[in-house]
Amino acid sequence: MSTSTARLSVNGPRLVADLKALGSIGCGPGGGLDRTSFSAADGEARAWLLGRCAEAGLRAEVDGIGNIVVSPDYDARTAAQPAVWSGSHIDTVPNGGAFDGALGVLAALECLRRIQEERPALDRPVRAVMFTDEEGNYAHLFGSSALARGFSRTELESLTGRDGDRFADTFAATGGDLDAATATKLDPATLHATVELHIEQGPTLEQLGHDIGVVTGIVALGGGVVSFRGRADHAGTTPMNQRRDALTAAGALLVALPEVASSVSERAVVTSGIVTVEPGSANVIPGLARVTVDFREAETDLVDVLQTTIVDVAREIALRYGVQVEFDFEVTIPPVRLDASIQATIEAAAAARELLYSSLPSGAGHDSQNMAQLAPTGMIFVPSIDGRSHCPEENTAWIDVENGANVLLDTLVSLARD
Ligand code: GLV
Ligand code: MN
Ligand code: MN
């Protein structure tokens, strides 16, 4: 084993090749990626990742909810010590991009490969992790939420995906075991620290001309489904003043959402990204309309206010349109302040590599939000071209990918030494 403290660097071309290879899995004709968690493409991506780990001689373990935790095999001396974790996710939003999450997983894998190759003397182990369903097809930050708080069997059985599928069915079809999923939770005593590399997904770093973002905190995240129940009737014969049109009521809620956000604070955001209608026929008045709501603010209290405001406004609309309304909200994921000492370590790593850096908060949700409840946690951002994300145009320059991965490697090595 080397006892050298010489600085390691990542193998940039290998990391880029991995990003390109993973970016081809689930890629549609328009260049967007569809790798919803537990879909066939997600399964293919997981198998590919496990193959890359095996090729590198790394050990990969899959936990009860499908999170993959990867370890180097060389350092039995430190294996039992609380570990330094780094990772992100490889699931995508529908028609998403090739960098959101994938960068953090593959950069962590590359860091582990370099550690395995060079065998530096470390006082604690470093692990790479791929979290299940960060994009919340079934639940916001699903895999890391399981590690942080666990899910009851009843909760798991009630989860449905974007396509209306039951999580329990889809999970079973991919070989998952609901008892093992229910038992999944991480003992914080096994963790020393966590660090996630991610694309910024906004325009700040590019506009500043900076290479590295040192993330100060992540906003609180709430979400759920609002369902309006009216009455399905004939579109041609039912007079306009005798209808109970669920979709018209849902539409009124959508129109009201910007005002819901601005009534709570300037930085609050509310989004409805899915509307489903039943029975779904051009000549039938909709009897049921479901809209998703995603709402975020830096303060948990204000996320709670966003939720109660949505409830109040939806109830008033339901009354006005003669329909009923029901709510199914997820547990709010609290905001986090990221660890000040890890922020300083990231800054020092960026400065030592003569990279320009600045501090910024994250408006996007990340698994680090959950991991910060278990251990001191940091995040590193790299610039997003044109600030685009959650779309096929999502892109980051290869030099920024390599710079970010090197800053991650320096930070991990530093955290793994006393
Ligand atoms: C994940 O990308 C989120 O912010 O919801
Ligand atoms: Mn995302
Ligand atoms: Mn992400």
**Residue whose CA is closest, atom 1 of ligand 1?**
365
Q: How confident is the model at residue 25 (pLDDT cuts 50, 70, 90)?
A: very high
Paired strand residues for 61: 69
* Residue 182: alpha-carbon gap to chain centroid: 20
Provide the pLDDT for residue 5. 60
Instruction: Give CA–CA dist 78/86, Å, rounded.
Output: 17
Ion ligand 2: residue ranges with CB closer than 5 A: 100
pLDDT digits (tens, 9 = 90+) for 166-219: 999 999 999 999 999 999 999 999 999 999 999 999 999 999 999 999 999 999
State which ligand 1 atom lies nearest to the alpha carbon of 136.
5
Chain position carrying tokens 């993959």:
68
Instruction: Give CA–CA dist 82/188, Å, rounded.
Output: 9
CA-nearest of 292, 255, 257, 256 to 273 is: 292
**Residue whose CA is closest, atom 5 of ligand 1?**
365
Q: Are 90 and 45 in contact (CB under 8 A)?
A: yes
Q: Are 274 and 162 in contact (CB under 8 A)?
A: yes
Instruction: Give CA–CA dist 323/325, Å, rounded.
Output: 7
Q: Are 274 and 163 in contact (CB under 8 A)?
A: no
pLDDT at 4 over 80: no
Task: Report CA(131)–ligand 3 centroid distance (Å).
Answer: 10
pLDDT digits (tens, 9 = 90+) for 257-293: 999 999 999 999 999 999 999 999 999 999 999 999 9
pLDDT at 32 over 50: yes
Task: Report CA(361)–ligand 3 centroid distance (Å).
Answer: 14
State which ligand 1 atom lies nearest to the alpha carbon of 101.
2
pLDDT at 2 over 50: no
Task: Report CA(299)–ligand 1 centroid distance (Å).
Answer: 17
State residue 106 phi and psi, 5-degree precision.
-75, -30
Instruction: Give CA–CA dist 22/102, Å, rounded.
Output: 8
Residue 177, CB half-sphere, CA atoms under 13 Å: how many? 7
Ligand 1, residues 36, 91, 99, 134: which to mutate, most atoms within 8 A of Cβ? 134
Task: Report CA(101)–ligand 2 centroid distance (Å).
Answer: 7
Instruction: Give CA–CA dist 126/81, Å, rounded.
Output: 10
Provide the pLDDT for residue 108. 98
Instruction: Give CA–CA dist 110/98, Å, rounded.
Output: 17
Q: How confident is the model at residue 76 (pLDDT cuts 50, 70, 90)?
A: confident
State which ligand 1 atom lies nearest to the alpha carbon of 365.
4
pLDDT at 73 over 90: no
pLDDT at 48 over 60: yes
Instruction: Give CA–CA dist 132/178, Å, rounded.
Output: 14
pLDDT digits (tens, 9 = 90+) for 293-304: 999 999 999 999
Ligand 1, residues 142, 362, 366: which to mutate, most atoms within 8 A of Cβ? 366
pLDDT at 1 over 50: no
State which ligand 1 atom lies nearest to the alpha carbon of 390.
2
Provide the pLDDT for residue 182. 97
Ligand 1, residues 135, 296, 367: which to mutate, most atoms within 8 A of Cβ? 135
pLDDT digits (tens, 9 = 90+) for 110-139: 999 999 999 999 999 999 999 999 999 999
pLDDT at 6 over 90: no
Task: Report CA(199)–ligand 3 centroid distance (Å).
Answer: 8
**Residue whose CA is closest, atom 3 of ligand 1?**
365
Helix/strand/coil for 299? coil
Task: Report CA(34)–ligand 3 centroid distance (Å).
Answer: 14
Q: What is the pTM of this model?
A: 0.93
Q: Which residues line ligand 1 (CB under 6 A)?
A: 135, 364-365
Helix/strand/coil for 325? strand
Instruction: Give CA–CA dist 81/25, Å, rounded.
Output: 36
Q: How confident is the model at residue 368 (pLDDT cuts 50, 70, 90)?
A: very high
pLDDT at 53 over 60: yes
Provide the pLDDT for residue 78. 86
Instruction: Give CA–CA dist 161/330, Å, rounded.
Output: 13
Write down the mean pLDDT value for the chain.
96
pLDDT at 60 over 70: yes
Task: Report CA(159)–ligand 1 centroid distance (Å).
Answer: 18
Ligand that lies nearest to the alpha carbon of residue 131, given by its number in the listed order: 3
Provide the pLDDT for residue 275. 97
pLDDT at 363 over 50: yes
Task: Report CA(181)–ligand 2 centroid distance (Å).
Answer: 23
Task: Report CA(92)–ligand 2 centroid distance (Å).
Answer: 7
Instruction: Give CA–CA dist 296/270, Å, rounded.
Output: 7
Distant-in-sequence, close-in-space partners of 31: CB < 8 Å, separation ≥ 6: 392
State which ligand 1 atom lies nearest to the alpha carbon of 140.
5
State which ligand 1 atom lies nearest to the alpha carbon of 364.
4
Provide the pLDDT for residue 77. 79
pLDDT at 401 over 50: yes
Paired strand residues for 163: none
Instruction: Give CA–CA dist 12/170, Å, rounded.
Output: 37
